[in-house]
Chains A and B, each alone.
Chain A
């Protein structure tokens, strides 16, 4: 069974631009959650999608948004990028929810210049 796939692996953007990250969950998994990881803040929960609906949300500004498609694939968008958005963005999938065993992708390393 293929694991969680995140694309792209690396991304370089400049301030003010927007970016879209993609996540393909494990086949059969309906929950996809997103996380931001930085050296100073550790892993922080962004949001979770289940059956195309955002079910849970962390404490991030509205510039961070996401969506999930009918095949459970998910995208995360960050608009008006700031230097502080530089981070490793991870997505995880699970069968039904974030309290279950999560399977993580390798992440997208975003650098904002």
Chain B
């Protein structure tokens, strides 16, 4: 079974770039890596998704090395409103039963 590992928590300051790394040693060939953001009392919100190399959108970048055993979410110039829990999601395929494995999440605190 694929397992993801993320840092439990991170601290940063406004204006800094934040990089959160997720390890997923047993990622399946057809699986994508997806990151979500969650604020208290809300459901997670999609941030970015990628398969290989680098993906960038208006809020973040995702770096995935060739072996795909890890990925790094990069948040440029964070603000206080980026304080949230960030989840790395990797689909795990076991026969006909795809079990989705979510990391425990990384709690990011952005300080003034």
- B17-25, B59-67, B69-77, B100-108 - the one binding chain A: B100-108
Choose one: B46, B98, B104; the contact of A56 (CB below 8 Å).
B98
Verify A98–B98 contact, CB threshold 8 A.
yes
Provide the B8-52 mask, 1 if CB < 8 A to any CB of A, else 0: 000000000000000000000001101010000111111001000
Interface size range of chain B in the complex: 20 to 34
Write the chain A residue with the least CB distance to B32: A99
Chain B interface, DSSP helix/strand/loop, else mixed: strand
Verify A104–B45 contact, CB threshold 8 A.
yes
Choose one: A4, A45, A106; the contact of B100 (CB below 8 Å).
A45
Residues on B with C-beta less than 8 A from A92 are: 43-44
Write the chain B residue with the least CB distance to A42: B104
Q: Does chain A have a CB within 8 A of B99?
A: yes
Verify B102–A45 contact, CB threshold 8 A.
yes
B94, chain A: closest CB distance, angstroms: 10
Choose one: A45, A99, A102, A103; the contact of B99 (CB below 8 Å).
A45
Interface size range of chain A in the complex: 20 to 34
A96, chain B: closest CB distance, angstroms: 13
Residues on A with C-beta less than 8 A from B98 are: 48, 55-56, 98
Query: In chain A, residues 63-113, which have Cβ atoms closer than 8 Å to a Cβ of chain B?
Result: 90, 92, 98-99, 101-107
Residues on B with C-beta less than 8 A from A59 are: 99
Verify B100–A98 contact, CB threshold 8 A.
yes
For the complex, give the distance between the alpha carbons of A103 and B97 in Å.
Answer: 21
Binding site for B on A (CB under 8 A): 4, 33, 35, 42-45, 48, 55-59, 90, 92, 98-99, 101-107
Binding site for A on B (CB under 8 A): 31-32, 34, 36, 41-46, 49, 87, 91, 97-105
Q: Closest 8 A-B residue pairs measured CB to CB?
A: A104-B43, A45-B100, A42-B104, A43-B102, A56-B98, A101-B46, A99-B91, A90-B43
A-B contact pairs, 22 of them (CB 8 A): A4-B43, A42-B87, A43-B44, A43-B87, A45-B99, A45-B102, A48-B98, A55-B98, A56-B97, A56-B99, A57-B97, A57-B99, A92-B43, A98-B98, A99-B32, A101-B46, A101-B49, A102-B36, A102-B46, A103-B46, A105-B43, A106-B42
